[in-house]
Amino acid sequence: MEKTEVQHQVHLDSTTELLGGSLTEALARAGLDNTLQQWIADVKALDNPELHQVVVDLQDLKAHFGGTSNPDMQLVRKLLHRMGTNTDRAAVFADGNTQPRVKALSEALLAAAKQLGHDEENTPAEDLKADSASNS
């Protein structure tokens, strides 16, 4: 069954609401895995190459939470911030009532990253340097 525009909007609203409260509570809440999977499916269904990094980050976030009971909050901050930035950029592709919801989701992602102590995204060079340092 294909999702309607209203179903997509409801999912955007519920994801924004999930991120709008206490992030630590949201991360511990049952159903996070399902929310992330639904979000991955929704973004993939848009079939927009500009959203590839959002899909990759969502999959990384889902895999990270599924594989540990003690999440690496630095990784979570990085993923949330990058998803917020890329979601904001993707808002231009949304139509009608969906566009403000995509913008609100972007703001919620960035606020969640900030709540975890991360205000700005590293440059790719900084990420590479950090990854190299952690692997040595």
Encode pLDDT of 46-98 as tens digits.
888 888 999 999 899 888 877 767 778 899 899 999 999 998 988 888 888 88
Token duo for residue 98: 């969906």
DSSP letter string, 78-111:
HHHHHHHHHHHHHGGG--TTHHHHHHHHHHHHHH
Angle made by CA atoms 60, 30, 89, in degrees to the nearest 5: 40
The whole-model pTM stands at: 0.73
Q: What's CA 96's distance to the chain center, in Å? A: 22
Q: What is the pLDDT of residue 38?
A: 84
Q: What does the domain layout of the chain look like in residue ranges?
A: 5-135
Q: What is the pLDDT of residue 1?
A: 42
Distance CA 79, CA 93 (A): 21
Q: When comparing pLDDT for 56 and 4, which is higher?
A: 56
What is the tens place of the pLDDT at every residue in 90-126? 888 888 888 898 899 899 889 888 888 745 555 555 5
Dihedral pair phi/psi, residue 36, rounded to 5°: -65, -40
